[in-house]
Amino acid sequence: MLNIITYSVLAFGIAMLLGSFWLLRRSMAGPAPPQAAPLPARKPLPAPASASVALVHAPVVEASLSEDELLALQRSRELMHGLLAGVSQNVRNLLGEMDAYTGSLKRHETSVKQAQTLAALEEVERLLLAGISDMQSASETYRDKLHGANKTIAEQRTELDRLSEEASIDFLTRVANRRTLDKRLVEELNRAGRENRPFSVVLFDLDHFKAINDTHGHLCGDEILRIAAQILSTHCREYDFLARYGGEEFALMLPGAALKEAGAVAEKMRLQLAAAPLKALQATLSVTLSAGVSEVRPGNDTIAALIGRADQALYKAKSTGRNRVILQA
């Protein structure tokens, strides 16, 4: 159908242009001389093979034309070419509009086939509205579930943080436990090696703690451990790390502290504990402690060797009278 329209438009345009050209030539040439023989009949032009049509001009003997006629002929050729270009552009525009119209027609045809009657269209509308309502309801339900899930996640994260803290803290004294101490010892020993700085460890042991348990009971002994841990924590430096080592023993890490500086910190804690009467349940007790101090040695020192030297110093402090601090280089 589009090809028929195209050919029809082109044929009409070409006929109009040829007619205009013939009239122009006739007006320029004037009446034909009587002696001129009639021109042979022109063969009909073949039908165009496609939408693009080429205009074929008959041979013109330009030598027999005057200069004005030649100029007029040239202008007419230019006019014809311009007209043909305009027709060609109009045809392309028409084809584009036809394509768009055809596509739109197909879409409308599909829509019409899907809804042949007004009742069908109303049913489609009803189904769409019902679908939108269901989607809104599902969206609200999902929003509520998402809010609940976020709340649950926040609660679980809080609980996880609490459990993580509980897992790293001694439940009785509320200082770090042995597992956390072991982890921090590895970290601090590696950091001391990388940064080439001192690192010391102190082991504390409450003197005669077994006698406290035997005389005043284990509940009183637990309270003594809690109070002692509070006093030791109060006198730690900013970067020190206190942990319960086991039983009545505590361990103190002192990053950046050499042996003598760590010994001075341990001595200050010993004096503070000895000077503070500890009120536990119905008893008021005076409690002392013994301490052993060691420092990381240059080279390939290990945690076991470091703790071992501190433990030897602690044993020496207890065996020489208790209530004292011993340094072990």
Residue 7 CB neighbours (<10 A) = 16
Reported as type and span, the H/E element at residue 244 is strand 241-246
Given the residues 62, 122, 155, 248, the one annotated as active site = 248
- Tell me how far apart the alpha carbons of residues 229 and 4 are, in angstroms, rounded to a whole number: 103
* Phi and psi angles of residue 134, each rounded to the nearest 5 degrees, phi first: -65, -40
- Largest CA-CA distance found in the chain, in angstroms, rounded: 158
| Backbone dihedral angles phi then psi of residue 250, each to the nearest 5 degrees | -125, 155
Q: What is the DSSP string of 100-132?
A: HHHHHHHHHHHHHHH--SHHHHHHHHHHHHHHH
Tokens standing for residue 132: 């939108």
Q: How far apart are the first and last CA of the chain?
A: 106
Residue type, 209: F
φ/ψ bin of 217: left (φ > 0), alpha (ψ from -120 to 50), beta (otherwise) = left
Q: Which amino acid is at 227?
A: I
Rounded to whole angstroms, the Cα distance separating 48 from 39 reads 25
248 annotated active-site: yes
**Catalytic residue set:** 248
